[in-house]
């Protein structure tokens, strides 16, 4: 180790004196406390999953409407056929 390096190490190891200003303000800020932020609500389902479920509900609703229409048409045909069968008997 050279003499300049040992001098530098000795200077570093020495305690540094605090020089306080005689006029003005001295600020010291020490924050060790935790800062809590507002909680954020996370969606339980993703938007993609919600859109897929919506498409599934819409398809199921359309299928139910078609089945209801078909059943209504079949019932009308059956009642018309029954009315025709009963008409000659009357």
Tens of each residue's pLDDT in the chain, 90 residues: 577 777 766 666 666 666 776 777 766 677 777 778 888 888 788 889 999 999 999 999 999 999 999 888 887 777 777 767 666 655
Domain assignment present for residue 54? The answer is yes
Residue 39: per-residue pLDDT: 85
Q: Give yes or no for a contact between 62 and 68, defined as CB atoms under 8 angstroms apart.
A: no
Domain count along the chain: 1
pLDDT at position 43: 78
Q: What is the pLDDT of residue 26?
A: 66
* Position 90 in a domain: no
Cβ(20)–Cβ(26) below 8 Å: yes
Looking at the domain assignment, is residue 10 inside a domain?
Answer: yes
- Does 80 map to a domain? yes
**Does residue 49 lie within any of the structural domains?**
yes
Residue 61 lies in a domain: yes
SS3 38: coil
- Residue 28, domain member (yes or no): yes
Is 27 a member of any domain? yes
Query: What pLDDT sits at residue 54?
Result: 95
pLDDT at 56: 96
The per-residue pLDDT for 61 is: 96
Does pTM surpass 0.85? no
Q: How many Cβ atoms from other residues are within 10 Å of residue 13's Cβ?
A: 7
User: What is the residue range of 44's domain?
Assistant: 3-85
């Amino acid at each position: 180790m050279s003499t300049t390096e040992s001098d530098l190490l000795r200077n570093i190891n020495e305690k540094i004196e605090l020089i306080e200003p005689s006029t003005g303000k001295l600020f010291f800020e020490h924050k060790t406390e935790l800062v809590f932020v507002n909680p954020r609500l996370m969606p339980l389902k993703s938007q993609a999953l919600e859109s897929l479920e919506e498409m599934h509900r819409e398809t199921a609703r359309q299928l139910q409407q078609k089945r209801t229409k078909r059943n209504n048409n079949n019932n009308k045909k059956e009642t018309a056929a029954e009315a025709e069968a009963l008409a000659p008997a009357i």
